[in-house]
Chains A and B, each alone.
Chain A
Amino acid sequence: MRSNVKNVITFEITRNLKKPTFWIAALLLPALLIGYVALAGFIGYNTGSVIEESSDVSGLSLGIYDAAGYLSTTEIVDKDGETRALEVYDSAEKGIEDVKSGELGAFYHIPVDFAETMEVYAYAKPNTTSIFSSYDGPLKELLMVSAATHTDPLDFAVITNAISINATNFATDTDEIVDPAEIIAKMVIPVVGLVLFYILIVMFGNRLTTAMVEEKENRISEIILTSMSPKDLITGKIISLIALGFIQLAALVVPVLILYAFGATQGIIPDGIMISWDVWTIVSTLLLLIVSYFLFTALCITIGTLVPTAKDASSFASVVMIMVILPLFFINNFMSDTPTVLTYVLSYFPPSAPIALMFRNCFGTLPVWELMLGLVVMAVSSALIIKLAVYIFKRSALEFTMKVNLKSLLGSPRNTWKAK
């Protein structure tokens, strides 16, 4: 008695890896991601440099006319730490004329009714690189310094949001002090797991549902089923599709990890990005990702056994996709430490379990026993769904044009090959 599972896996993996489309799909997302980051960096760099350049008014002559008499000083500190005084005008018209003629870089006017209107005016003749800028930096500085002299220092600090709040957070179930940054750091890996699962189902959903249709569409079923058991075929297909999914995922994750490691060693990772490399978090996230994808694959494969063509498979696939992403609409339920009935239903109903459990894993509201139970439920469901797929495929393999109906599944004489 020979098993052909290994032969199916080798064939399916090899032929997919040989296809340029597989690698295009695998590398497209990382390429887009890198392109996006590079573009964002480039724009950020250029925008930053424009602003910096235009905010740097050290090379410009500045003038001011304070008709309201509000300012307590007309001196500013430029970016080099040097103090410089603005040229004081005795009329707004003269300052504006000087800007127009190019004698003055920028001119500020504080009108007489400033206390009522709270409006001030800035005049400049911007050059082409200063389109993102206004020349208001020195004026704001002057107003701020003057305001501080008019107001009580404490009131000034409160108004300008300069008060430092020292927050202490306690854990919900213990009296321990927790650091919010630490909580966010712990969420990073589970969130990445959730995002990767989402990428997998979006990238692979269609391929998974059409995987079992190919044999029917190309009239290969009869030859295949006289060469191996349907159980071998379906098991082999599922294993190879899972492997292909993770190969594509690796193509996405590995470059990101390399970039992260490089960034960390070079000290160019921003301080705000903190990741908790807790072993249990990594293990639980990986387990959830693998078992969830296994379940999703089994669901899609089963749909493929029901229908004769790829077109028919697509319409069924959307129904599965909706059930899988259902928890997205009830995200608030997963944040609470006190689960509702809906939380439990979504966590243990097989199609919605992957995303529901992953959400709870992200928010830290998934106790270990529930994680284990969820993994067992998903694994057992997958096994039963695969058994169902084998049962259906045995009955539908020779239906080259018609969808399988309930009557043909339950009653009509079709093959009842016992799964070997």
Chain B
Amino acid sequence: MTGVVTVKNFQMSFAGKEVIKDLSFTVKKGEIFGLLGSNGSGKTTTIRALLNLYQPSGGELLINGKAFDPAGDFVVGYLPEERGLYKKETVIDVMTYFGKLKGLKDPKEWSLKYLNRVELPDVANMAIGKMSQGMQQKVQIGITIMGNPKLLILDEPTKGFDPVNRKLLMDIIEELHEKGTTIVMITHYMDEVERLCDRALLLKDGKARAYGTIKNIRKEFDGKTLDQIFVKVYGEKADAQ
């Protein structure tokens, strides 16, 4: 079965150094998929290659059966690890702009409703740079979920988020999941993975070290928790060194 995300024999090298070695996995429609690994293991590189921001050295990366095209009809919501907004512009102007880019029919109305929902009804005309980090994060989440994405890719979504925004994001993820949105999540928080994800892939040295349902991964590692599995897998590296 072709998944919403299909990665086949993906290889990636930077300046002659192979960072991803023959990686293959699929993300099925409607599931929450966790892409796990330590810093520098190639998670963000895989997502960037999937979104056509990087050219792979080899293999095939498809979204809905095709190479990703931002101008296509398959809407993808992406919250990158490196995130920012037009700081001098007002919240409503920026949200409306991104809404238009994602093909929303009435982006302004959608944005105002969203701001109301996240208890920021009064900031619509405030410059983003003048808002607190927490407020900016809420705007960032709003932009990510605009246009009813069929695939949501979240790269370390709760990084730097305060507990309120972290809960907001988790609620939104669950809500979208219920509506059938496929979600790919890169995270270091194993509790989030155990709570939310249907399946996961653990990357180590550019290879899949574990891949499957959370239940099967745990079974493969003698019933350990994901936290313990993570420590064990990356401990192997430390031991080897």
- Mark the stretch among B81-89, B110-118, B158-166, B178-186 that contacts chain A: B81-89
Min C-beta distance of B63 to chain A, whole Å: 11
A420–B71 CB distance below 8 A? yes
Q: A218-B86, A412-B15 are in contact. Are A228 and B71 (CB under 8 A)?
A: yes
A323 part of interface (Cβ distance < 8 Å): no
Inside 8 A of B78's CB, which chain A residues have their CB?
A: 222-223, 226
- With both beta carbons as reference points, the residue of chain A lying nearest to B97 in the complex is identified as A11
In the complex the two chains form, what is the Cα distance from A397 to B52 in whole Å?
Answer: 12
A363 part of interface (Cβ distance < 8 Å): no
- With both beta carbons as reference points, the residue of chain A lying nearest to B53 in the complex is identified as A415
Inside 8 A of A224's CB, which chain B residues have their CB?
A: 101
Inside 8 A of A151's CB, which chain B residues have their CB?
A: none
B101–A420 CB distance below 8 A? no
In the complex the two chains form, what is the Cα distance from A227 to B80 in whole Å?
Answer: 12
Other-chain residue from B53, B55, B103 in contact with A222 (beta carbon distance below 8 A): B53
Interface set, chain A 1-23, CB cutoff 8 A to B: 1-4, 7, 10-11, 14-15
A229 part of interface (Cβ distance < 8 Å): yes
Q: A218-B86, A218-B87, A227-B101 are in contact. Are A3 and B14 (CB under 8 A)?
A: no
Q: A4-B100, A222-B80, A412-B15 are in contact. Are A227 and B54 (CB under 8 A)?
A: no
A219 part of interface (Cβ distance < 8 Å): yes
Can you list 29 A-B contacts with CB-CB less than 8 angstroms, sorted by A residue number?
A: A2-B71, A3-B71, A4-B71, A4-B101, A15-B86, A214-B86, A219-B80, A219-B82, A220-B86, A222-B83, A223-B78, A225-B51, A226-B51, A226-B76, A226-B78, A228-B101, A229-B69, A229-B71, A397-B53, A398-B53, A398-B82, A412-B14, A412-B15, A413-B12, A413-B55, A415-B52, A415-B53, A417-B52, A420-B69
B71–A219 CB distance below 8 A? no
A226-B51, A227-B98 are known contacts; what are 13 more A-B pairs with Cβ within 8 Å? A4-B71, A4-B101, A7-B97, A7-B100, A11-B100, A218-B84, A220-B85, A228-B71, A398-B54, A413-B54, A415-B53, A417-B52, A420-B69
B53–A416 CB distance below 8 A? no
B48 part of interface (Cβ distance < 8 Å): yes
1/0 per residue B8-48: CB within 8 Å of A? 00001111000000000000000000000000000000001
Min C-beta distance of B80 to chain A, whole Å: 4
A400 part of interface (Cβ distance < 8 Å): yes
B154 part of interface (Cβ distance < 8 Å): no
B56 part of interface (Cβ distance < 8 Å): yes
A415–B54 CB distance below 8 A? yes
Inside 8 A of A415's CB, which chain B residues have their CB?
A: 52-55
Other-chain residue from A1, A7, A225 in contact with B72 (beta carbon distance below 8 A): A1
B143 part of interface (Cβ distance < 8 Å): yes
Inside 8 A of A66's CB, which chain B residues have their CB?
A: none
In the complex the two chains form, what is the Cα distance from A10 to B101 in whole Å?
Answer: 11
Other-chain residue from B14, B82, B100 in contact with A413 (beta carbon distance below 8 A): B14
Interface set, chain A 367-420, CB cutoff 8 A to B: 397-398, 400, 412-417, 420
A222–B102 CB distance below 8 A? no
In the complex the two chains form, what is the Cα distance from A357 to B26 in whole Å?
Answer: 59
Inside 8 A of B143's CB, which chain A residues have their CB?
A: 223
In the complex the two chains form, what is the Cα distance from A286 to B71 in whole Å?
Answer: 35
Inside 8 A of A228's CB, which chain B residues have their CB?
A: 70-71, 101
Interface of B is mostly: loop
In the complex the two chains form, what is the Cα distance from A419 to B97 in whole Å?
Answer: 22
Interface set, chain A 220-257, CB cutoff 8 A to B: 220, 222-229, 232
B85–A218 CB distance below 8 A? yes
Min C-beta distance of B226 to chain A, whole Å: 27
B228 part of interface (Cβ distance < 8 Å): no
Min C-beta distance of A222 to chain B, whole Å: 4
Inside 8 A of B216's CB, which chain A residues have their CB?
A: none
Inside 8 A of B68's CB, which chain A residues have their CB?
A: 226
B80–A223 CB distance below 8 A? yes
In the complex the two chains form, what is the Cα distance from A22 to B102 in whole Å?
Answer: 29
A222–B82 CB distance below 8 A? yes
Other-chain residue from A7, A15, A227, A414 in contact with B70 (beta carbon distance below 8 A): A227
Inside 8 A of B76's CB, which chain A residues have their CB?
A: 226
B70–A229 CB distance below 8 A? yes
Inside 8 A of B2's CB, which chain A residues have their CB?
A: none
Min C-beta distance of A312 to chain B, whole Å: 18
- With both beta carbons as reference points, the residue of chain B lying nearest to A420 in the complex is identified as B71
Inside 8 A of B198's CB, which chain A residues have their CB?
A: none
B156 part of interface (Cβ distance < 8 Å): no
Top 7 nearest A-B pairs (CB, nearest first) are A219-B84, A222-B80, A227-B101, A218-B84, A7-B100, A416-B55, A11-B97
**Residue from A14, A225, A400 whose CB has the most chain B CB atoms within 10 Å:** A225
In the complex the two chains form, what is the Cα distance from A293 to B194 in whole Å?
Answer: 58
**Residue from A3, A214, A413, A415 whose CB has the most chain B CB atoms within 10 Å:** A413
In the complex the two chains form, what is the Cα distance from A7 to B82 in whole Å?
Answer: 24
Q: A222-B80, A228-B71, A398-B53 are in contact. Are A7 and B86 (CB under 8 A)?
A: no
Inside 8 A of A222's CB, which chain B residues have their CB?
A: 48, 53, 78, 80, 82-83
In the complex the two chains form, what is the Cα distance from A214 to B87 in whole Å?
Answer: 10
Min C-beta distance of B229 to chain A, whole Å: 30
